[in-house]
Amino acid sequence: MEPAFVTSNRWKFSEAEKILNKYGINIVHANIPLEEKRGESVEEIAEDCAIRAFSLLGKPLFVEDSGLFVPSLNGFPGAYSAWALSKIGNEGMMRLLEGKPRDAEFRCCAAYTEDGIHARAFTGSVRGTISGEPRGSGGFGYDPIFVPEGEEKTFAENPSLKGRLSHRAAALQKLGEFLSGRQR
């Protein structure tokens, strides 16, 4: 059975497809509208979405919630990452961070369910810094302003770096191991 990845974000889907294919897992894209509940953690939001998505699709699926957390902004944008990007964008983040420490962390939780009752959560994170200005044209969202720890380029300047080091790669590798273990 090919699990569905329920997401409205085509970049997320193609990143997930590449990672899970390495584990012999094929996924199908389900772009169905899902309201996200308000919550502080990516785990809480992803698990809730997975259970609600199952009631619409009725087949094994996962959803994924991600966010960028900046300690010097008390964790903002965090659970409000999509909202902040649409309101202030990466330029707005530059203004908010003027004169402040630029450490940041991307977090991701992929929540998988095959019965609509229990969801299994797989999490991943990557630390880094927010660049001095947006750079690069690959990726999406906050990729042009995120430089992973120990590197100089943003995720948008070096998408293969993202494939190896990202919060999504870390979470989905765990999901890939779980699902491929099931098939053996």
Instruction: State the number of binding residues for ligand ITT (CB under 6 A).
Output: 18
31 token code pair: 């772009």
Give CA separation, 41 vs 1, 109, 159, in Å: 29, 9, 26
Chosen residue from 3, 7, 47, 170 binding ligand ITT by CB under 6 A = 7
Compare residues 47 and 64 and give the one whose CB is closer to ligand ITT: 64
SS3 state of residue 4: strand
48 as an active site residue: the answer is no
- Which region, judged by CB under 6 A, interacts with ligand ITT, from 7-15, 18-26, 118-126, 170-178? 7-15
Residue nearest to ligand ITT (CB): 141
Residue 107 lies near ligand ITT (rule: CB under 6 A): no
Place of tokens 């273990």: 181
**DSSP bridge pairs for 68:** 106
Chosen residue from 110, 143, 161, 172 binding ligand ITT by CB under 6 A = 143
The residue count of the chain comes to 184
Residue 62 lies near ligand ITT (rule: CB under 6 A): no
Residue 140 lies near ligand ITT (rule: CB under 6 A): yes
Compare residues 25 and 109 and give the one whose CB is closer to ligand ITT: 109
Answer for the pair 104, 128: CB distance below 8 angstroms, yes or no: yes
Residue 166 lies near ligand ITT (rule: CB under 6 A): yes
Residue type, 184: R
Which of 126, 147, 125 is CA-nearest to residue 136?
147
Task: Give me the active site residues, please.
Answer: 65
